[in-house]
Structure 1
């Protein structure tokens, strides 16, 4: 990450009920050298999560009476604005914001807050979206609740927690299923939410532009899966793409299928441009810009879609039509 980056890094922690989110945040607070502002979202009028988080020197803020992903998103923006102003005026000091969403939250609107609100874009930068899951019970959650699938689909890092409660065979099958839902996410196995913080903080896995600079080949996988309602699709193309055609296609795609597209991101080889064109989107919101030069790397366009009921054949046909004449 650029040391001159003025924006505040944000770690979003999701996960179904009982997955170990609060324990994970306590682990962060205990072992990081950063000063952390924690925003806790407790569903209901009476919250208890802020009481469970160990009170050190961190700023703990709780948002009640709803879920961040729906009716209290304005409260989230107000809270973040207050934090940013207080930091600029040196009223409080912190290096990072950690947001713990309720176990019933769809992460998409939380992520969109940092993409669509101008003030948020200027002051904050998503470092990563971490999804914790209970290795013993996640299979049942995936069958019963759409939120559990969404939390996995939007994650950059999947923390498979409570691995000591399952067999190796169970764990192997679970990992295979998770890879089918979201092959672009990195996975960490853990017990009691204990994770090496170097794997989850300061990695800027959500910031695709930074990720490309660190590892230009990170999207280089060619898998597509359809086993779950939420699945993924990866596409590659060695021929250069026409930027006008690409813009028309993506604009049409988000208008027609935006609600079904959870995450989509790509590193593209555009005709007449010597730099990588990096873009990513969440549902109806997407943005792209030129980034680093290709240099000696192979100029191959790579896209990853994660969404609900993806039509692989149709998406691939539409993508191929974006090839420059």
Structure 2
């Protein structure tokens, strides 16, 4: 039976083994520490639990999957429908053979990197610099230091709106820089990664060097989403933002990092509206200054705070 938190306990809209929350603040689940509530928020116990739950979700109810919330801006009005959390829940990792690793969507990228290195494998070290989960990395072809997620993907597993668990080939997807397009209404639940042999010492040194470089060039320990904009062809978003004079400037409680101009920091209880306004102003300013229209890498979801809230729409039995 689903454990239900945050509303009339006699109302049980979904039956599963996980935890279902009503009006869960998404600011608790995003790296920006920003975001209105999720109308429904489900924490599954495993893939079988998800396969049981998803068919019970009405077809007209929106669904959103969420990992560590590190590449996500949730608007202040929150998210209607069902949000499914994977981070730390769909967290199985096993070797299928000597060099092939199956990783569920809720495993953090950093954990995948360490696990592979400690097994004497190379190819996944760059994942140590991606502050998200494997599911998020698959969804956007996340990358760091010249490497990208799908370069090491041999296959993926998905789940659709009917709760059907499917295995898919890389050829089922259109993949390019920060872009992945595949079958509609399917979500990644696992990846199969093909790696190469190495030594534990070499892998550990690579990760240390990458993390040292990251610490020297990026703001660490501050609420941000990582890189906000994609790098345009043959250029860097940070260079263009700095050229346009935005480094150290902001809107409301949100400001552009002085250490790396492609990072927006939640400095003083910023709202999602602050961040979104800053993003829009940067896009306009850079386009006027350099003739380049920056494309956000961050995913923006939800409703504006001016929308009629659903906080009062507590179901009754």
TM-score bin (small chain): under 0.3
TM-score, normalised to structure 1, is: 0.26
TM-score, normalised to structure 2, is: 0.27
